[in-house]
Chains A and B, each alone.
Chain A
Amino acid sequence: MARTNTLQEEQALGAATGIASRIAVTLRINGRDHPILVEPRRTLLDALRHDLTMTGTKKVCDMGNCGACTVSVDGQAMYACLLLAVDCDGREITTIEGVAKGNVLDPLQEAFVEHDAFQCGFCTPGQIMNLRVFLDQHDDPTDEQIERAVTGNLCRCGAYPNIAKAARRAVELRAAQRHAGSTRSGDR
């Protein structure tokens, strides 16, 4: 079993080599590979925000209480503050930056704007990433399921009723999109 270096050893190593205490990982984010060197203790959240300057994912509690840093990892909603970057090598990560296609919003994003599902917007990337994974897994959720899905995402401005409305609207928009998609493929 690997022994954890003491702080002094780590420093000595770092001082001697500059980067020896860092580990090479390749983060696959929004369909693109990002090879970076990170300290083993660096969280996925800090790797996104610091190493990759992808600041759309927000840091709020940094201990898994608030949901603001939610990203999709291998199709599951996860707190980026509770994952180490070194554990995410090669995993399929989607962040808020990967949701819109250029300036074209995803139906969920569109619904958030339409229903005023945020005020300050700091929790919004986490709300959207969480709901997006949820809606990928639930085509026709009940109101209770929607509410349960975002119970872990805190919004201090209190946009909750509008977040629920936006989620219901997104269900409709996504259904229409699927319908349009299947009609098109049926025509071929």
Chain B
Amino acid sequence: MALRISQQGTGEETEVEVVEEDHLQSWPKGAPLAVVGKGHPRLEGNEKVTGRARYSYDVRLPGQLYAKVLRSPHPHARIDRIDTAAAEQLPGVYAVLSSANVPDIAWYDESALFDTTLRMIGDEVAAVAAESEEIAEDALRLIEVTYTLLPFVTDLEAALRPGAPKVWAGGNITEEPKIYDRGDAEAGLSEAEVVIDEVYTTAVALHNSLEPHGCTAAWEGEHLTLWDSTQSVYTVRQEVTEALDLPEHRVRVIKEHMGGGFGAKQISWKHDVLAALLSRQAGRPVQLMLDREAENLAVGNRPSTRQRVRLGARRDGTLTAILAELAQARGAYLTGGEASDVSGMYQTLYRCPNVHTEETPVYINAGPAVAFRAPGHVESAFALEQTMDQLARALDMDPVELRRRNYAEIDQTQDKPYSLPEGLRLCYDRLTEAIGWATYERPEPIGPKRRGIGFAAHDWGGGSGHPPGYAWIELNSDGTADVVTGTQDIGTGTRTGLAQIAAEELGLPLDRIAFHLGDTGTGPYAPVSSGSATQATIGPAIRVAAAEVKAQLFQVASTILEIPAERLTARDGRILVDGDISRAVPIEDITGQIAPHTLHGRGARGPNPSDKAVKTFGAQFVELEVDVETGEVILQRIVTAHDIGRIVNPTIVDSQVIGGITQGIGFALTEERVIDHRLGLVLNPNLEDYYVPTIADVPPITHVHVDVPDTEANPTGAKGVGEPPLVPTAPAIANAIFDAVGIRIRSSPMSRDRILTGLAESINREPRVDA
């Protein structure tokens, strides 16, 4: 196993090998599995439908206080004076923190937990813990702050102009642009017979997990416990111990159930440290949950982008060049976590010898960007896949055929074959078959409603698994099992999918598995739940742990039954001799004889294959109507196919696919953080004016299962599904809009306003021709 080691101070990384293997053979394709592949209902279903599931927001401890944060009302300002005396004297207030009484704790770039320079609306100015949320809010109103206002910029393009107000003294470009070159892109363009050159923009999208960020902090002596709404209990533990200079064994982070994260909760945010400090000062547990406005201002978003895309191709469709000049607005600060990789898909989705990408991250005086479900790829798919559609039309070629002609079987950035090289082709095959593409006929328009169909493809670097990660299993004396891992179920169905792996390998029915996760105090290390990686990371570790337990079980059974262990198998709670069901012995008859001793197994996730690149792929068709009188887009049907390896639980995977596409619909049509750039003010940090999709916005969605185990990827053959489904949705919608009414909307969201404007501009143009 390769672990990355960062050298303190130098920032250099080295790798160290730790010997650990998930040595098991992958379950073969078509293997008759008993539990894996079945659509079992979620293990925590009953808790969630009865209101008994306890989320971080629901933690209630004796003497618990509630915290509120005073946030900057200005996009760029300096605090000249802060007076918290009146707030401190308000009855019911236990602790007030601000730059006046908190020592410098480094945070974000060169900033601090409480910086006296504020770089965005929503920056933390002070925090109060009080007996009730209402009293805490009263106290915030009693804090007097004098600000000096500074010049600001909140627009990506404006921030890049010469003389723009500077977010940081060093300027608005956050770091050196990331440049990638393969072959000679300019030469590739000049040898092209067709060149497309277009500019796209995408808007800032807000995660809007229904449970906001937040936590409850409680000290017992020198031991701190944080119940946090987080995608990574271990990341929070590490970052909080660093910020507070605590030893790691004195901090425990717990997350049982979580009301969504979508990427935004994969790092530790200021509230973790604020709650811990407030709790220490107050001598009581403190809950600090963000309100919806703070949620939408301060703790992450999908950055806006500007993308200039150039494609060069020969008449037969062969791509000769791909060039992408990209800028993305990172907000006022750089956060950690999964990178927003806008460049990636330009480099890998299609076979092309000549590729140039350059990506410039830009500071603006607004909330910081953080990973949002397939970060970067949702944005780049919107541009690349529209440009491919435009190219197909320019060549008078079927859009699927154009993509088949430029099929990549290797990861060209690493010069390694994909672990399942036919993955994307299988998506094309199954999808075109499902929709009857060969003989597809577009329905006739009805009145002002024009019908269209659009196609888009994608790849995604996630889903491969992020080793290391660990699991333990106890096989109890009554034939039940406890599975323990330090991963977390962020609402995706992780518990159930992973429990199915344990049940399969142990030969137990699923209802004999208890699954424990989300607690640094009890579970072994597991990485952040991001990158669609959890099933593929922890699944193999669990399978190894289960195999170890099973080997011990067979040793015991072999002695008791006087039959060699090699002749034993386990299925449905029984041990079979030579696979013979008539000679089955209940597992508890064996384990009962060693009670109260339990059998203990440990499992580690081995490394990803070194000679293969593991990715997920997918493709989508969207059918829709555009009402040319109102600009309304009425989605009719979405059909989608994904190479995500083996499908462990088809019910839950379908839910993930539908959910991802639903967010893709929002990104495509309605979701946009709106800023008044003259005031720097976010106009819609709420669920009233920021439009997430409702039930009425979602058409029938068909997930065509590819379900081919990626046996090279890991011993379960399962990859990840969390992020991929929404990547192709917006461009497929855009391409269908073009198909319907002959206009290209190159900015997200494709609002009615933009569609009506596009229609008005196209009146004097020939229909179905790109500008």
Residues of A within 8 A of B (CB): 7, 11, 14-15, 39, 41-42, 46, 49-50, 53-63, 65-66, 68, 95-97, 99-100, 103, 105, 109, 112-114, 116, 118-125, 128, 147-148, 150-164
In the complex, B258 has a CB within 8 A of chain A:
yes
Closest-by-CB residue of A relative to B492 is A119
Interface contact B91-A11, CB-CB below 8 Å: yes
Interface contact B491-A157, CB-CB below 8 Å: yes
A162–B652 Cα distance when bound, in Å, is 11
Contact of B695 among A46, A63, A99, A150 (CB under 8 A): A150
Max chain A CB contacts within 10 Å: which of B49, B208, B257, B656?
B49
Contact of A160 among B50, B212, B695 (CB under 8 A): B695
The 24 sampled A-B contact pairs (Cβ below 8 Å) are A39-B134, A63-B687, A66-B687, A96-B51, A105-B50, A112-B49, A113-B46, A114-B41, A116-B655, A119-B493, A120-B209, A121-B257, A122-B259, A150-B695, A157-B260, A158-B658, A158-B659, A158-B660, A158-B661, A158-B662, A160-B695, A161-B700, A161-B701, A164-B695
A116–B291 Cα distance when bound, in Å, is 28
In the complex, B103 has a CB within 8 A of chain A:
no
Q: Which of B242-270 contact A (CB under 8 A)?
A: 257-260, 262
Closest-by-CB residue of A relative to B54 is A55
Give per-residue flags for B695-709: 1 if the beta carbon is below 8 A from chain A beta carbons, else 0: 110101100000000
A90–B700 Cα distance when bound, in Å, is 44
Interface contact A120-B490, CB-CB below 8 Å: yes
Say whether, besides A11-B90, A119-B655, A160 and B692 are in contact (CB < 8 Å): no
Please, which residues of chain B bring their CB within 8 A of the CB of A57? 51
Contact of A60 among B292, B656, B662, B694 (CB under 8 A): B292
Give min CB distance, A164 to chain B, whole Å. 7
Please, which residues of chain B bring their CB within 8 A of the CB of A163? 695
Interface contact A158-B693, CB-CB below 8 Å: yes
Closest-by-CB residue of A relative to B655 is A116
Contact of A7 among B141, B259, B659 (CB under 8 A): B141
A65–B686 Cα distance when bound, in Å, is 8
Closest-by-CB residue of A relative to B726 is A158
Max chain A CB contacts within 10 Å: which of B44, B48, B60, B701?
B48
A113–B60 Cα distance when bound, in Å, is 27
Give min CB distance, B142 to chain A, whole Å. 8
A50–B44 Cα distance when bound, in Å, is 24
In the complex, B210 has a CB within 8 A of chain A:
yes
Closest-by-CB residue of A relative to B496 is A116
Closest-by-CB residue of B relative to A126 is B210
- What is the interface residue range for chain B against chain A? 35 or more
Closest-by-CB residue of B relative to A46 is B133
Please, which residues of chain B bring their CB within 8 A of the CB of A60? 210-212, 292, 687
Interface contact B292-A122, CB-CB below 8 Å: no
In the complex, B583 has a CB within 8 A of chain A:
no
* Contact residues of A: prevailing secondary structure: loop
Contact of B57 among A59, A65, A157 (CB under 8 A): A59
Closest-by-CB residue of B relative to A39 is B134
Please, which residues of chain B bring their CB within 8 A of the CB of A49? 58
Max chain B CB contacts within 10 Å: which of A49, A59, A163?
A59
Say whether, besides A41-B134, A113-B42, A62 and B292 are in contact (CB < 8 Å): yes
Interface contact A66-B42, CB-CB below 8 Å: no
Q: What are the nearest 3 A-B pairs in CB distance?
A: A56-B51, A120-B491, A158-B662
Closest-by-CB residue of A relative to B44 is A121
Give min CB distance, A47 to chain B, whole Å. 11
Please, which residues of chain A bring their CB within 8 A of the CB of B52? 56, 97
Say whether, besides A151-B694, A154-B210, A161-B698, A116 and B41 are in contact (CB < 8 Å): yes
Give per-residue flags for B663-699: 1 if the beta carbon is below 8 A from chain A beta carbons, else 0: 1000000000000000000000011100011111010
Q: Which of B627-656 contact A (CB under 8 A)?
A: 651-652, 654-656
A147–B671 Cα distance when bound, in Å, is 21
In the complex, B198 has a CB within 8 A of chain A:
no
What 20 new A-B contacts, CB under 8 Å, besides A15-B91, A60-B292? A7-B138, A53-B60, A58-B55, A58-B259, A59-B57, A61-B686, A113-B42, A116-B41, A120-B211, A120-B258, A121-B44, A121-B49, A156-B260, A156-B262, A157-B260, A158-B693, A160-B662, A160-B694, A161-B700, A161-B701
In the complex, B53 has a CB within 8 A of chain A:
yes
A157–B655 Cα distance when bound, in Å, is 9
Q: Which of B165-216 contact A (CB under 8 A)?
A: 208-212
Please, which residues of chain A bring their CB within 8 A of the CB of B552? none
Say whether, besides A114-B41, A159-B658, A55 and B211 are in contact (CB < 8 Å): no
Interface contact B50-A109, CB-CB below 8 Å: yes
Please, which residues of chain B bring their CB within 8 A of the CB of A148? 696
In the complex, B558 has a CB within 8 A of chain A:
no
